Amino acid sequence: MALRSVVVRGVGAVRRAILRSRPGERDRMLAAGRWLVLAPHPDDETLGAGALLCALADAGRPAQVVYLTDGSASHPGSPTWSRGRLAGLRRREARAALRRLCGVGAPEPVFLDWPDAAPPAPDSSLFAATALRLARLIQSEQITNLATTWPLEPHCDHAAAAALGQAVARRQRGRVRLYWCVVWGWTIPESRQLERTAALPILSPAAMTRRRRAALAQHRSQLGGVVSDSPGGFRLPPAMKRTVADVQVLFRSTEA
């Protein structure tokens, strides 16, 4: 993977998205109804939607955040960090990151605890039960906007989150707008498709970018700072850290 291209391609697409976005749309969307952010893993709330979460909290409308997987597959084979122990750590890191992004008044996050990197098929009972649970949450919290990862993201859990978002939004029959966050999607050439997609840019002033970077720093296990004995342990590439910059763009799904 040419990680340098993550930043180059992402920056170009983001700049073009800003140019073609409609003036005032960001403020209209932030003021319109309530948001649910469905993050495939702890850290995607920051990498994919950190600016959105900050802006909503600052506007007094903090989002409901839902984590799809338990994040327990990031450091396989560690003799000291079992999947259960790692899942507990990642949950604590997620809560700490959300405090940086949203402050203390935000709704409690929901952890759905799907097994990391092994999403159930869309026709499975677990998928259907999760879609139903999210639909109920949308109803009880009067959610009108749902943001989750882009369907072409090159990670099985990110694609599953997109499929879940689509299934849930479809069930709402137009009452919920669906937005895509891009995390790993910038690493693939298909991201050029986003240049033709309606965009919602969230500008991130310096103070907000500092909060987002502080949030990302809470995910110490993903930055190489905790688990040192996993043979194939994940470590976030530096190029991905640099995507936490002065603007973050969401893209509007054409389906909902």
* Binding status of residue 41 toward Zn ion by CB under 5 A: yes
Answer for the pair 114, 126: CB distance below 8 angstroms, yes or no.
Answer: yes
User: Shortest approach of Zn ion to residue 106 CB, angstroms?
Assistant: 20
Instruction: Identify the DSSP state of 185.
Output: G
Closest CB to Zn ion among residues 44, 70: 44
Kindly indicate which of the ranges 39-47, 60-68, 94-102, 210-218 contains the residues binding Zn ion, using the contact rule CB under 5 A. Answer: 39-47
CA 32/CA 142 separation, integer angstroms: 11
30 vs 39 by CB, closer to Zn ion = 39
> Considering the complex, what minimum distance in angstroms separates the CB of residue 122 from Zn ion?
19
- Least Å distance, CB 153 to Zn ion, is 8
How many residues sit in the footprint of Zn ion (CB under 5 A)?
Answer: 3
Residue whose pair of structure tokens reads 């750590």 in the numeric block:
89
List 14, 36, 44, 114, residue binding Zn ion (CB under 5 A) = 44
User: Smallest distance from the beta carbon of 158 to Zn ion, in angstroms?
Assistant: 6
The answer to whether residue 48 forms part of the interface with Zn ion (CB under 5 A) is no
* Distance of alpha carbon 94 from alpha carbon 220, whole angstroms: 10
CB of 43 or CB of 54, closer to Zn ion: 43
Angle at the Cα of 206 (from 203 to 209), degrees rounded to 5?
70
The smaller minimum CB distance to Zn ion, of residues 26 and 251, is found at: 251
The residue within the footprint of Zn ion, chosen from 40, 119, 151, 185 (CB under 5 A), is 40
Give the shortest CB-64-to-Zn ion separation in angstroms.
19
Here the tokens at position 75 are 């450091």
In contact, 215 and 59? CB cutoff 8 Å: no
Task: Give Dmax over CA atoms of the chain in angstroms.
Answer: 53
Q: Which stretch binds Zn ion (CB under 5 A): 32-40, 62-70, 129-137, 195-203?
A: 32-40
Counted residue by residue, the chain has a size of 256
Residue nearest Zn ion (C-beta atom): 41
Binding region for Zn ion (CB under 5 A) out of 14-22, 35-43, 56-64, 130-138 = 35-43
Residues 6+ apart with CB under 8 A from 228: none
Torsion on CA atoms 148, 152, 158, 164, rounded to nearest 10: 60
Answer for the pair 238, 159: CB distance below 8 angstroms, yes or no.
no
198: which 2 tokens? 């309606």
SS3 250: strand
For residue 243, the minimal CB distance to Zn ion (Å) is: 13
Amino acid (1-letter code) at residue 238: P
Considering beta carbons, is residue 29 or 243 the nearer one to Zn ion?
A: 243
Q: How far is the CB of 71 from Zn ion (least distance, A)?
A: 8
Cβ distance to Zn ion smaller for residue 198 or 223: 223
Which parts of this chain interact with Zn ion (CB under 5 A)? 40-41, 44
